[in-house]
Amino acid sequence: MCRLFGMHTGQTPAKASFWLLQAPNSLSGQSRDEPDGTGIGTFDRDGTARVSKQPIAAWQDQEFSYQAKHLESTTFLAHVRYASTGGHSVENTHPFVQDGRLFAHNGVIGDLPQLEERLRTLGVFDLLLGQTDSERILR
C-alpha cells in the first residue's frame, strides 16, 4: 500500500530532506517496497502548488533526491506509490494538483463505475488525466 508524508511548518519555510531521505523509515527507504512512483508537492511563497513526480521508485529517482535536498516550503506532501489501480505513468503518480490544492491518497476506493458515473453527471469526468481511483476522489 502507498505511503504518505505531510509536513507543515507554519510561516517559516523549511526543508524536508531528513524525513524524505535520511530518517530510519524515510520515504525513500519505504519506496523499496512501494516502487511504482514518487512525488513531492509543495507551495511556493505566493501559494502556488507545485509537484515533481515520476513513475519510478524514490530510491532510484535522482529528481526525487534533488528535490528532497533543495526544496523549501511551509508545506510538503510527498507520496510513494504501490499501484493498485492504473498503470505506471506520470498521470497516475501522486500527488495531484487541482484548483491550487494538493492531494494524495493511500488505500483502495471501491465501486469505481458508480464514482465515474457521478463524475460524468457533474460534468467533470473530462478533468481526469489518469486511471487511478485516487484521482477520481479528488475530481
Question: Hey, what CATH topology would domain 3-104 get?
Answer: Glutamine Phosphoribosylpyrophosphate, subunit 1, domain 1 (3.60.20)
pLDDT, one tens digit per residue, over 83-106 is 877 788 888 788 988 888 898 888
Whose CA is closest to 130, among 55, 48, 35?
55
pTM of the model: 0.84
pLDDT, one tens digit per residue, over 31-82 is 999 899 999 999 999 999 999 999 999 999 999 999 999 999 999 999 998 8
CB contact set of 8 (below 8 Å; sequence gap of 6+): 74, 75, 76
Whose CA is closest to 36, among 74, 97, 91?
91
pLDDT, one tens digit per residue, over 118-131 is 888 988 888 878 78
pLDDT value of residue 2: 84
Domain boundaries, the chain: 3-104
